[in-house]
Amino acid sequence: MGAECSGKTTLAQSLAIHCGALWVPEVLRTFCSEQGRTPLQTEQAGLMRQQMAHEEAALATAGHQGCPLVFCDTAPLLTAIYSDYYFADASLYQEAWAWHARYDLSLLLAPDMVWTPDGIQRDGEPARGQVHALIKKTLAQSMLPWSTVRGDPTRRLEMALSAIRGMPA
């Protein structure tokens, strides 16, 4: 998990390659590309559930392939956080938390990479910092395992792998 331009896609793909695992791309990125805009408040719940469906499909595929790990580019909980941030709508948290409880580990990506515009999803450095703080606060309130990763892509991969190795079997 991470705010915009924090390296979620790069890390998820790198972890999947390194671990011989599957990765689930971010539904929001596809939505924005196809629609040419960011979602409306009324579309947030649908996007969150679509992300859940993609994760469920990846888990089923992983089970058939005997693959023990699936890495997600983002999490439905992040959709709930963004819905809260952009629309002051906290209605998605309960469903997102119920889903997130299934995760073995969440990785919070620090916003320490150079911010670069990347299409219509990007709001800039100030929003990235505010969203990161909200994600961190939300994770800190949970009883679920999470770890922060930071640094360049190589360091992030090392930190993420270390956190994964530290998980209970």
- The pLDDT tens digits of the residues spanning 140-167 come to 998 889 999 999 999 999 999 999 998 8
Per residue in 5-43, pLDDT (tens digit) is: 888 999 999 999 999 999 999 999 899 889 999 899 999
- The structure tokens 């469903």 sit at 95
Structural domains in the chain plus CATH codes = 8-165 (3.40.50.300)
pTM over 0.95: no
Per residue in 74-120, pLDDT (tens digit) is: 999 999 999 999 999 999 999 999 999 999 999 999 999 887 766 66
CA distance 156 to 110: 9
Is the separation of the CB atoms in 92 and 42 below 8 Å? no
Question: What phi and psi, each to the nearest 5 degrees, are found at residue 24?
Answer: -110, 115
In this predicted model, which residue has the larger pLDDT, 116 or 3? 3
Question: What phi and psi, each to the nearest 5 degrees, are found at residue 109?
Answer: -90, 120
